[in-house]
A and B are shown apart, each in its own frame.
Chain A
Amino acid sequence: MPMVQIDGLTKRYGRHTVVDKLSFACEAGEVLGFLGPNGAGKSTTMKMLTGFVAPSAGTASIRGHDIQSDTLAAQRCIGYLPEGAPLYAEMTVRTFLDFIANIRGLDGTRRRNRMQEVIELLHLGPVLDQSIDTLSKGFKRRVGLAQAIVHDPEILILDEPTDGLDPNQKHEVRQLIRSMSAEKLIVISTHILEEVDAVCTRAIIVANGRLLVDDTPAALAEQGNADLESVFRNLTQASNVETSEAAV
């Protein structure tokens, strides 16, 4: 059984279809890049995968746990960084991570070890007792990543993990993703193409909620006889023309 299995996943808001019969499966060791222009349905798909938004149709299962009927078991396998990395601003980094560890049910030595590991991995030592709203954007994002990995999840879902970071910070986050990719399944959404080249082993391109391409980044570039960027532009713009014609 694949780690994540999606079948005909659909989300409609009124008459507007945001995610349209999406189906794919992925396995441990993969870094899946979820690519698409803004508004393509990337975030909505991730919100459905993590049990935040209920699908209008279709199913998603995480390690065999259906996200709708067995939500908690599915959520226990996942670490999730929501878009924009929302955090409890009035808390200090330490009390925030303690809260997450409490909810995740970590205790004893495992808890101490994990906390220490995560704090070292994301270089949070110097800001542990600072309240989150005083931190820079880069630190906030790192706190968001820390809460996602503190329970050492098998599946990591990161919604635009590098959005709004400076080049050094982006580089750091990508290295972190690569370093964790061996034993986990990591799904990242992005509209930055270099990111897919840099970290992903597989790329899925979506536009208007539909799956357009599912391939390795290298094969994608070859197929288009060009770089990833032009492939992306051709595909997503073609689909835009298609839908606007359909609308007429």
Chain B
Amino acid sequence: MSVTRAIFRRELQSYFATPVAYVFIVIFLMLMGAFTFYLGGFYERGQADLRAFFNYHPWLYLFLMPAIAMRLWAEERKTGTIELLMTLPVTPVQAVLGKFLAAWAFAGIALLLTFPIWITVNYLGNPDNGAIIAAYIGSFLMAGGFLAIGSFVSVFTRNQVIAFVISIVVCFGFLLAGFPLVLDIFSGWAPQVVVDGIASLSFLTHFSGISKGVIDLRDLIYFALVIGTFLYANTIVLRWKQAD
């Protein structure tokens, strides 16, 4: 436990050791605002809720979460510190978990800093704050899903740009798994069970309920499973390819 915590702390500190973290948070908040007010029509909707805000989270995360996760392993490979880390008494599970949790905490900090929008909506009307908290939790879980994918992709390469681009492609596939864009690739030849299975993997479908404030246990389990699966795969690949 203390090993995972040490890695978590180091990793989180290193986000803030360079201007990257601050640039990221500022961009994150600006984009969130722009999407909510312009694309989402926050005022025009005339409703005291945060649907206009949460609806765009999947699309922002598609680009911003891979940007947080790309360095997790690619940078260790590039600088050779992966040799330092993995010859310390550290198991792959501890290393993967510590790094992932740091990235997730960083995303959580950025998400919490969107609180002015919550104050705004409470000032303008009487929103269902329970639903808003539920949507925040769901958004945080979805961010974890994106980050787990990003961390997994990052372990394959020493190049952060490659990690970033491939993560976006994989995340995009997951985001739209329930839509014709992805399903048409499979529906021609794969059995219906497989197509239905792929369709049920869609981040958008699982998030849409949560963004309305409806917490369905199945959606929570889904995101937990995505995180668990990709982190597990991450440890396997790390064990197998750490020295390559």
Q: Which residues of A contact B (CB under 8 A)?
A: 47, 50-54, 72, 75-76, 78, 80, 82, 84, 86-91, 95, 99-100, 102-105, 131, 147
**In the complex, B79 has a CB within 8 A of chain A:** yes
Given A75-B87, A86-B79, 5 more pairs with CB closer than 8 A? A80-B87, A88-B10, A102-B5, A102-B9, A104-B89
> Do B87 and A102 have beta carbons less than 8 Å apart?
no
> Do B89 and A50 have beta carbons less than 8 Å apart?
no
- Name A100's closest neighbour in chain B (CB-CB): B88
Q: How far is the CA of A10 from the CA of B106 in the complex (A)?
A: 43
> Do B88 and A104 have beta carbons less than 8 Å apart?
yes
Collect the chain A residues with CB atoms within 8 Å of residue B120's CB: none
- Which of these, A78, A88, A89, A105, contacts B87 with CB under 8 Å? A78
Pick out which of these stretches binds chain A: B11-19, B56-64, B165-173: B11-19
Q: Tally the A-B contacts, defined by beta carbons under 8 Å.
A: 69
- Which of these, B6, B17, B81, contacts A87 with CB under 8 Å? B81
- Secondary structure at chain B's binding surface: helix, strand, loop or mixed? helix
* Among A87, A91, A103, A131, residue most surrounded by chain B Cβ atoms (within 10 Å): A103
9 A-B pairs whose Cβ atoms sit less than 8 Å apart in the complex? A54-B243, A72-B90, A86-B83, A87-B81, A88-B10, A90-B18, A99-B9, A103-B3, A103-B6
Collect the chain A residues with CB atoms within 8 Å of residue B87's CB: 50-52, 75, 78, 80, 82
> Do A86 and B13 have beta carbons less than 8 Å apart?
no
> Do B84 and A72 have beta carbons less than 8 Å apart?
no
What's the nearest-Cβ distance from chain A to residue B87, in Å? 4
> Do A90 and B6 have beta carbons less than 8 Å apart?
no
Interface hits, B60-95 → A, CB 8 Å: 79-81, 83-84, 86-91
Q: How far is the CA of A170 from the CA of B80 in the complex (A)?
A: 23
Q: How far is the CA of A157 from the CA of B165 in the complex (A)?
A: 38
Tell me whether A147 and B84 are in contact in the complex, defined as CB-CB below 8 angstroms, given that A91-B10, A91-B13 are known contacts. yes
What's the nearest-Cβ distance from chain B to residue A75, in Å? 4
* Among B9, B79, B88, residue most surrounded by chain A Cβ atoms (within 10 Å): B88
**In the complex, B2 has a CB within 8 A of chain A:** yes
Collect the chain A residues with CB atoms within 8 Å of residue B242's CB: 52
> Do B79 and A47 have beta carbons less than 8 Å apart?
no
Collect the chain B residues with CB atoms within 8 Å of residue A131's CB: 17
What's the nearest-Cβ distance from chain A to residue B98, in Å? 10
> Do A86 and B81 have beta carbons less than 8 Å apart?
yes
Q: How far is the CA of A50 from the CA of B83 in the complex (A)?
A: 9
